[in-house]
Amino acid sequence: MFQSAEIGHSVSKSKYREAVPKLREALLEAQARLYEEKRSPVLILISGEDGAGKRETIHVLYEWMDPRFLSTLAFEDPTDEERERPEMWRYWQSLPPKGQIGIFAGSWYSEPIRRRIKGKISQKDLDARAEQINRFEAMLVNEGALVLKFWIHLSEDAQRQRLEDLQSNPQTAWRVTSWNWKRLKTYDKLQDVAGHLLRLTDSAWAPWIVVEGTDEKYRSLRIGQVVESALSARNAQNVKPAEIAKTKVELPAANLQVQAGPPVTPFLRLVTDGRSVLSAMDLSLRRSDKAYARELADLQGRLSVLARDPRFKKRSLVLAFEGADAAGKGGAIRRISAALDARQFQIVPVAAPTEEERAQPHLWRFWRKLPRQGHITIFDRTWYGRVLVERVEGFCSESDWYRAYGEINDFEHELVEAGAIVVKFWLQISQEEQLKRFHEREQIGFKRFKITQEDWRNREKWDAYQQAICDMVERTSTGEVPWTLVEANDKNYARVKILRTLCDRLDECLG
């Protein structure tokens, strides 16, 4: 991986002086256009060995570009807000919006490398992490981001020389500490670990660009040129974000494929025997008012105790509610929230994304609402919007919603890994029951806000929705985070089933 960066690349002073003004103008031009047209978010990762010139490179980028539309993301020890959420949360919070450039001084690569060197994780763990990273970056690129990953390399000799030079100059001696010399001793180990991780994560859509760090002029020019050419290429593309993924920035590679070519989903619409997880549901299931009253009180009491369980203080709960319009999500949620302390939970009604949310990957708006430890977030409609309403209404392309299955599974897996308990419900009602409820709503004052023209329109696509739901359940009901399908024609039955499922899951996860 690093061989080509030990061959003594260098650029003469005169060549540098000649190249920089043109490059700078091209960079500013490309950056201004990117910003004006809010085209893509751009992520530039600056990584590499200590003293290879990471700090200096960032400095040069600020000098050559308009610093007002750059931001540098550095990650120190996690804050308590960060510690209580999945590892990737801090990076999601730092993603630049469309049109802006985020320079990552430290990234999702830093921790795995550090831990592997210290022997805190195994080689297999590292490989699994690489796979996760590939999927994360593929998601970013498919969502329209431009991802440029630089590794600035310095041979061991060059690194030693650099430290000695710094130390001998009184102006810079403060920058060299015993920590630097100690790090130099682990040079080989770093080469092994980083080299391995870089190979596994060198993809066509988010390539690694290894740059020799010894000669400052070469290093700066090389990185500036790559950034400029990537930005200009992006500006020249007259395509939708989803298709941008097909255009590679540089270097071949790939152990995982980002979407390309025509969609392969027609098989989803094949009907072989007409049975489905939905048609197999018994919507006639009912609970009498009397039994309901008793069970509701019992289950709410049980939930209330579970939410105050000391073991829950180190966990969090993410509840996801999906269902057709008027399926009773709101009522079910109210029966849950009634058993909880209002200071402990937050209900997030999911409607159309805001302007800030539209400038980010589709999962971003859910990441920003994740609960801290000991807390609960209840989503009324969820990240499944992309494979339901967005799919059926054609708000995104076929390949967009198809890849969302994997992205969603990854998202939920990260939540579970971080100790969150994730429980998701689909509330199913029949078409007749929905019609009846729509008419009821029109009669009730405060409920008339809940029924709109759109609700009526959605009904017309009933079959398409049923198909989308079946596919969703099939592709995202995992062992860790299964779907619970709820027969919801009878509200009593549905609420009891939801509360019981929730209590059982909490018991199981806390036990």
Angle at 31 between CA 28 and CA 37, to 5 degrees: 135
| In the complex, least distance from residue 73 CB atom to its own copies, rounded to whole angstroms | 8
Q: Based on CB atoms, which residue is closest to its own copies, 69 or 438?
A: 69
Q: Based on CB atoms, which residue is closest to its own copies, 66 or 474?
A: 66
Q: Based on CB atoms, which residue is closest to its own copies, 219 or 391?
A: 219
Residue 244 CA: distances (Å) to CA of 44, 45, 273: 17, 19, 39
How do beta strands 316-323 and 42-48 pair?
unpaired
| In the complex, least distance from residue 19 CB atom to its own copies, rounded to whole angstroms | 17
| In the complex, least distance from residue 170 CB atom to its own copies, rounded to whole angstroms | 13
Record the tokens describing residue 315, joined without a space.
């966990």
Q: Based on CB atoms, which residue is closest to its own copies, 36 or 440?
A: 36
- Look up residue 322 and give its DSSP letter: E
Taking the C-alpha atoms of residue 406 and residue 134, their distance in angstroms, rounded to an integer, is: 12
| In the complex, least distance from residue 376 CB atom to its own copies, rounded to whole angstroms | 12
Q: Based on CB atoms, which residue is closest to its own copies, 31 or 458?
A: 31
Residues that bind its own copies (CB under 8 A): 25, 28-29, 31-33, 35-36, 55, 58-59, 62-63, 66-72, 74, 79-81, 103, 105, 330, 333-334, 337-338, 341-343, 346-347, 349, 354-356, 380, 445-446, 449-450
- Are 19 and 221 spatial neighbours (Cβ–Cβ below 8 Å)? yes
Q: Based on CB atoms, which residue is closest to its own copies, 167 or 300?
A: 300
| In the complex, least distance from residue 283 CB atom to its own copies, rounded to whole angstroms | 25
DSSP letters, 107-174, are: -TTHHHHHHHHTTSS-HHHHHHHHHHHHHHHHHHHHTT-EEEEEEEE--HHHHHHHHHHHHHSTTTGG
| In the complex, least distance from residue 378 CB atom to its own copies, rounded to whole angstroms | 9
In terms of C-beta density within 10 A (0-12 exposed, 13-18 middle, 19 or more buried), how is residue 438 classed? Answer: middle
| In the complex, least distance from residue 406 CB atom to its own copies, rounded to whole angstroms | 29
In sequence order, which ranges of 363-451 are alpha helices (DSSP H)?
A: 364-367, 389-392, 398-417, 431-443
Q: Based on CB atoms, which residue is closest to its own copies, 32 or 277?
A: 32
Provide the β-strand partners of residue 346.
Answer: 377
Taking the C-alpha atoms of residue 480 and residue 475, their distance in angstroms, rounded to an integer, is: 13
Q: Give the contacts of 369 (CB within 8 A, at least 6 positions apart).
A: 346, 348, 377, 379
